Structures are given as C-alpha cells and as structure tokens.
A and B are shown apart, each in its own frame.
Chain A
Amino acid sequence: MRGAMHARWAACAVAVALAATACGGGNGGGSGDAGAVLSASWGDPQNPLEPANTNEVQGGKVLDMIFRGLKRYDPETGEAKDMLAERIETSDSRNFRITVKDGWTFSNGEKVTARSFVDAWNYGASLRNNQRNSYFFGYIEGYDKVHPEDGGKQTADTLSGLKVVDERTFTVKLTQTFSTFPDTLGYNAFAPLPRAFFDDHDAWVRKPVGNGPYRVESYTRGSQMSLRTWEDYPGEDKAQNGGVDLKVYTDNNTAYTDLMAGNLDLVDDVPAAQLKNVKNDLGDRYLNTPAGIIQTLAFPYYDDAWNKPGTEKVRKGLSMAIDRKQITDTIFQKTRTPATDWTSPVLGEDGGFAEGLCGEACEYRPDEAKKLIEEGGGLPGGRVTITFNADTGSHREWVNAVCNSINNALDNERACTANPVGTFADFRNQITGRKMGGPFRAGWQMDYPLIQNFLQPLYYTNASSNDGKWSDKEFDRLVDRANQETDTAEAIKLFQQAEEVVRDRMAAIPLWYQNGSAGWSERLSDVKLNPFSVPVYDQIKVS
C-alpha cells in the first residue's frame, strides 16, 4: 500500500496548498483511503459523451466528474457558485464580460482559456454538429445563423455574440435581457473543451478529456468506465477517493442485488420494488433526499375538449381526486413528496419555491372533486385516459394508482384508465405529433436550479418542453418581465406571479416532487446526492 499512501499524501499536499480542506484523519464518518477506488452503478449513455449532446442523467454523471464549468451548483444548496469564472460582469443583463480564472488546465495539460469556452459553445450551437442541447445557446446573438430552426441553410459557423478578448476574457451578447444568464452557466452544455476534442474527435469520444477532478482512464462502451482521480486537479473540490469505476447494469434491481452481495459500492437509483426492504438490507447506508424533479400530468390543449373555458374546473377536480399522500407513501415509500406548487423544494424559499401555492387544488378532496368536474361540464366523453410510456421507468404503477384514486373519488370504476404506449420514442412522437387525447405523463428534471427553468420551458407559448401546447398571454408577459428584471428577488416574485397563472388555469396537475435515492456499501462514507440526484462522487470517502 505504499503507493496509495504516497498518493494520498500528495493529494493532501495539493489540497492544503489550495485551500485548508480537511485532510488526513477525515471528519466524523471515518477516515478515507484517498487511493481507494469505489464502484458505482451506471446506465449506458444514449448519446456520444459530448457536453452539449448529453441530455440524460447517465451521461450527465460522467460529465459532472470530468468537467468543471464557469459556475458550479453547490452540491448541497444548489446555489450557482463561481468555479472557473473569476468575474462575470454586466451592466444591462444583456452584454456579459466573462473572465476565466488563471491556473486551470485540462487533464492533458492544455490550458483552459477563454477560447476553450468560445470554441465549445460554437461547436454546441452549430446545427452541423447535431448537438441535442443546442437550444441552450439560443439566447446568444447569432444563434439563428448557426442554427436556423426553420429549416433554412446554416449561414455561419460561429456565434456572432461570442468574442474572445484576450487569453482569459471573452464577451457574450444576448438577443434579449436575461438577468439570470450567469446562473445557467453551471449546466454541462457550457463546459469548456480542449483542442483535442476538435483535432481528433473520434479519439476524444472514445476517451473523453476534461478539466474536472477525475480523468477517464479507460472506457469500454456498454460495460464500464474507469475514472481515476486527476492528481494535478487545480480546483478545491479535489476527489477524496482514488477513483470511481462506473459499471453499466442492465437493470437497477441487479445493481441493488450486487450491492447487497458486496460486489458494488454505490447504487444511485434504488428500485421501487426494494424500497420497502431498504432499511432491512442496508440499515442507515441509505439516502433519500429531494432532487430538482417534479412529475406532472400535462393536458393536450390542442384538443378543444381540454381547451374550452370551464375545463380548468375539470382539471382542478381531477387534481383534487388524486390522493397524493397515499400514493407517495404506498407506491413510492416516501421517496416522493406530494407537490404543492409547480417548482421544486431544492430551489428553497429564496429561489422561488412556494410551498402550498397550489392550495386546496392539490389536496385530496373527493367530494369537491366530483362537484368541480360536474360544474366544468364533466370529463370529456365521460372518461379520461392517462397516457404513459411502458418501456422506461416504472410509471405503470403510479398511473394505475392515480386512476384508482380518481375512480374511487368519482365513484366510477371506469372513469379513468391507464393508456400505456410501447416505447418512449412512440410516446414522444404522439406528443410532438399532437395526438394525445387526454392527460399524459410529464416530468421535468431541472437543468439548473432556477425557478425560470421550472416555468418557462414548460408553459411559455411554444417553449421546447411545452408538450401540451398551453398558451397564456398573461403568463408569457410575466415571464418576459421577470427575465428582464435585474434584481433577482424582483425577478423571482414575477416568476411566482406567472406560476399563479399556471395555478389558476391548472395548466398541468402537479403530482409529486421526486427524491434522489442512493444505497452504499460499508466501505463508503460521506455519500451525498446533489440536487440533480447525482451522487457527489468527489466527496465520497472509501475505507
């Protein structure tokens, strides 16, 4: 173990030099062996691991380990803190001048400069590169040239709104005022990229190189990625362990079984069927914390049956017919919390989370539910179906439970039926093709912990995730005003007013806030989940 000891000493030396982080004995939970590697469950990312191309949590996990952006969301509070950004200055919330900290490099030794960011963002925005997350750059001036959404020809390769000033400084010009723009920069799509990404793209995708606390040691597609602590990592959040082996599992239940058998150290998605056994199996080596995810039922507003005046009463009635508490207690074993607004508790009161904003419309009141639905003209066609996709996630159970709850409240065994769709792709096609005939499953995992992210993409007219095509002038106006507001508190107030419009029209029925869950082996301590329900790998100690 001499090698490991040496490495640990070196790691502490670097850490001490940068900041006075606790080193050596460790605190409370147990002393960690900084050289020890832990194994964790993983799912195969669906897209190539490019920062602007990763739109699901499994790929996001890795990016979170191997990249650091201008900002980073605090693993506990979710607050956007400067990471590589030394300064982000603006006078009008439209033109930003960003200075990158000195001393940062990629793990291959290349310096992280202003250009690393500008090149990465230009790459991510360009239509030619097919990046799923392009729209994150949509506020930057020139986006319509590099990414014409109407099917026109791409007329530029770079965003005119991005300008490199010197090695460490660049400017960003937006098409409109957007006061919280700096706080969005912690999202993975805004990560810097080394030249190696552009020079030998295939090699980079096979073995990504970034500037985070871990570096990829080996990557076998579809089975395992070995990440090791990057010893020369210049940041303060240096990894407390020797590395992480991410193992691809075909099923989260198998990962859980492997954890119980001692073959795996960390499972970050405890299967629903095992929640009842988790105390028994793992004792206190289990964590269940709020994450920035809300589940809702969206409605097809392109269908007149749901867009008539008065239907908001029907929607409210449906909402009041759902016994959220019983479902979250029984089906989810308290790993979800009944929703009382349209955002998430991880935002905090200051960030715009308003507990109880939904009021009695989100409480279980079967009698009033029945009355309201009758007042609103009854269910369209006398019945309602809840559409969901059957292939991913375990949606069937809660959809059935919601339907049973509605049926019990309305005293009609066939008022609500579940409507499974075979594949996620088909489900999405039916949504984008406007073929939904009733409420359907909608979930939102935040990109960044801002109230704006819970409202604008979902309810603004024609927004990217406004699947029900809901549209309300008052809501749009309030969001526009909020985005222009430079004072954060004022902006949040305006967003909340917009949320009240959502409530009054019951644009979508909020169901519950989803928690992140994790279970781990006896070797680990200091396991935490960030507000995105991703384990904070770098803080985990291994003994």
Chain B
Amino acid sequence: MPDQHHEPEHAVAGTGMGGTMDLGVDEAETLERRPTGPDGTGPQGRPRSLWSDAWRDLRRNPVFIVSGLVILFLVLISLWPSAIASGSPLACDLSKAQQGSSAGHPFGFDGQGCDVYTRTVYGARTSVAVGVLATLGVAVLGSVLGALAGYFGGIWDSVLSRITDVFFAIPVVLGGLVLLSVITSNTVWPVIGFIVLLGWPQLSRIARGAVITAKQNDYVQAARALGASHSRLMLRHIAPNAVAPVIVVATIALGTYIALEATLSYLGVGLKPPSVSWGIDISAASPYIRNAPHALLWPSGALAVTVLAFIMLGDAVRDALDPKLR
C-alpha cells in the first residue's frame, strides 16, 4: 500500500502537488473508521451521541487495546507488587552495591545494594498513582477553568487568567518547601494535591487557547444562533474540538509529574523515606550514570513505558473524538 502512494508523491514533489497523496490516505482512514454509517456523522444523530460513538470507535482501535492492556498491567502490579516480585524493596546489602545482573536479580543492584527489579516493581504504585491522579486533577481543574475563561471571555477571562498568572509565579521549589513541609502525612495525597495546585495553570492556558479557537467555528456560531445552551455548546460542539491539545499536554505532563515527585522527595518534602518510587530511584542513580547505568535504565524504562501507554491512549481517544474523522 504505501508503495503505491509513494510513487506519485515523488513524481510531483518538485512541482509541489503532493497534497493529493495525503488526502488519499485520509480518505482511506476515514472510510475505515466509519463503521456506523452516515448517521453517526452529525452531532445531531439522536440514537448515538458523540461520546458513545467515540467509545464504539475506541473498542475497535488496536492502539487503544494495547495501551489499555499496558495500563491495566501497571495498575495490577501497583496493587499487588508481590505477585511478580518476591523480595522486599527495602532489603539492601551494601556489599552488592552497583553490581550488574545475576541469578535471581535480573536488573542488578543499585548504589545502596538494593535489588533494582524489586524496587522497580514496587515503585510502580507510587509513581503510577502520582502520575495518573495528578494528571487527572490537573486536566480537570485546568481545562474547566481554562474553558470558562476562553468561552465566556471578558471579566471571566480577566479574573481567571490573572489568577493563573499569580500561580505561575510560584517557583516549584519554594512552593514545595513551604506548602509540603508543614504536612506530616506520609501518603501520596499531599504530593498529588501540590502538583495539581501548581500544574493547573499550564493546562488552563492551553485549554483556554483551544476553546477561544474552537468557539469561532461556524457550526458553533450557528448552534449558538439556534439558541443552544452554554452547557450544550461547550460539551457538544466546543469540547470535542478543543480536547486534542489538552490530551497531548496532559499525557506528556504525566511523565514529568512522576519525575517531579522525585524532586520533591529529594528536597525532603515529598514522600518520606523509606518510600519507593521510580522517580526516587532515577534521581538516586543519576549521578552514577558512568558506573552503574543499569540502576537508572530500569526505572527510567518503566517510566517511559508508562508514558508511552498514556500517549497512545491519548492519541486513540483524541482520534475517536475528532468529528472530522466521521
């Protein structure tokens, strides 16, 4: 298939007429993904809403299925790490520090002589919880406030955007030292709360920009003229068109939040020792990259797989929600 399309592209590249090729692929994609037939097209399609259409699309998308399975696996090992790791993440023997892999210890040992495999498995709980919950919190708070500012504009926009600006001004280190050091609870919740508190402005701004663009579309103006309510306009017409950048930023931010947890723990204000997380292990192994790269590789790899799964999930969801695809 690709070959057939390649030839004409090369042939016309010089004349700048290659656009046809892209459209060809698009048409194919569109046709493939239109299992429900023409009546699923418009938002007015009574029997099936946009969201249920999206769900129908998703279930058939292999990308969604694979990423879903990976995430399910991550959730399972977060809940029952002992199912696949027999040792204790806190059992460390300094005499084995930085050793490579050996029988029963496939990933080797870190700088303190702890088993990297066990720690990577046990680290999933904290890291996945922080990553997913903080991202959800940021996405909800950020997109709601951003959408309000972008949709209503005027005084709403002024007030909400200026609040965003003030939050933007707080340096993460300062915020962490001040807000988290007073909390003694040793759970992930304060860390998640903190990340949401400092993370929402970024997403809010992205959502605001996306909503400002989306509300200019003709069909939105038309729906408004027809007397559609604010909530209907927002959910039915604007949200599906504005959600893409929010998903993109949120899925990448998920990875950075997992790393941020480590920064906070490093400052002594995140999770108190002896917590286990990928972030903590990554930052502990970083200085020793020249001598023991394996201690960095595995937790980083786990983080990468998690981020990949969510990026793929995000892509699939976005495609499913895109009205232009149906």
Chain A binder among B44-52, B161-169, B196-204, B267-275: B267-275
Known contacts A273-B288, A276-B291: A408-B93 contact under CB 8 Å = yes
A426 x B94 contact (CB < 8 A): no
Chain B binder among A33-41, A262-270, A297-305, A398-406: A398-406
B291 x A422 contact (CB < 8 A): no
> Counting CB contacts under 8 A, is A417 at the interface?
yes
For the residues of A in contact with B, the DSSP-based class is helix
- Please report the total number of A residues contacting B with Cβ < 8 Å: 34
> Counting CB contacts under 8 A, is A7 at the interface?
no
Q: Which of A253, A400, A414, A420 contacts B112 (CB 8 A)?
A: A400
CB distance from A491 to the nearest CB of B (A): 40
Known contacts A273-B288, A277-B290, A417-B274: A404-B94 contact under CB 8 Å = yes
For the residues of B in contact with A, the DSSP-based class is loop
Look across to chain A and name the residue whose beta carbon is closest to the beta carbon of B273. A418
> Counting CB contacts under 8 A, is A510 at the interface?
no
B97 x A413 contact (CB < 8 A): no
**Chain A residues within 8 Å of B112, by CB:** 397, 400-401, 404
B91 x A421 contact (CB < 8 A): no
**Interface set, chain A 408-433, CB cutoff 8 A to B:** 408, 413-414, 417-423, 426
Look across to chain A and name the residue whose beta carbon is closest to the beta carbon of B93. A408
B181 x A417 contact (CB < 8 A): no
**Chain A residues within 8 Å of B113, by CB:** 330, 404
Q: Which of B92, B287, B290 contacts A404 (CB 8 A)?
A: B92
B252-276 vs A, CB cutoff 8 Å, 1 = contact: the mask equals: 0000000000000011110011100
**Chain A residues within 8 Å of B111, by CB:** 331, 397
A390 x B268 contact (CB < 8 A): yes
> Counting CB contacts under 8 A, is B88 at the interface?
yes
Task: Determine the distance from Cα of A201 to Cα of B295 in the docked complex, in whole angstroms.
Answer: 53
Q: Which of A323, A413, A419, A426 contacts B181 (CB 8 A)?
A: A426
**Chain B residues within 8 Å of A327, by CB:** 94
A420 x B268 contact (CB < 8 A): yes
A421 x B274 contact (CB < 8 A): no
Task: Determine the distance from Cα of A277 to Cα of B291 in the docked complex, in whole angstroms.
Answer: 8
Task: Determine the distance from Cα of A422 to Cα of B267 in the docked complex, in whole angstroms.
Answer: 5
Look across to chain A and name the residue whose beta carbon is closest to the beta carbon of B269. A422
> Counting CB contacts under 8 A, is B72 at the interface?
no
> Counting CB contacts under 8 A, is A391 at the interface?
yes
Q: Which of A273, A330, A405, A419 contacts B287 (CB 8 A)?
A: A273
CB distance from B123 to the nearest CB of A (A): 15
> Counting CB contacts under 8 A, is B90 at the interface?
yes
Look across to chain A and name the residue whose beta carbon is closest to the beta carbon of B186. A417
**Chain B residues within 8 Å of A407, by CB:** 90
**Chain A residues within 8 Å of B177, by CB:** 422-423, 426
Q: Which of A271, A330, A419, A421 contacts B97 (CB 8 A)?
A: A330
> Counting CB contacts under 8 A, is B229 at the interface?
no
A sample of 17 inter-chain contacts (CB < 8 A) reads A273-B288, A276-B290, A276-B291, A330-B94, A330-B113, A390-B266, A391-B267, A396-B266, A397-B111, A397-B284, A401-B94, A413-B274, A414-B90, A417-B273, A422-B176, A422-B267, A426-B177
Chain B residues at the A interface, C-beta cutoff of 8 Å: 88, 90-95, 97, 111-113, 176-177, 181, 266-269, 272-274, 284, 287-288, 290-291
Name the 10 nearest CB pairs between A and B, nearest first. A420-B268, A273-B287, A390-B268, A413-B90, A418-B273, A404-B92, A422-B177, A422-B268, A422-B267, A330-B97
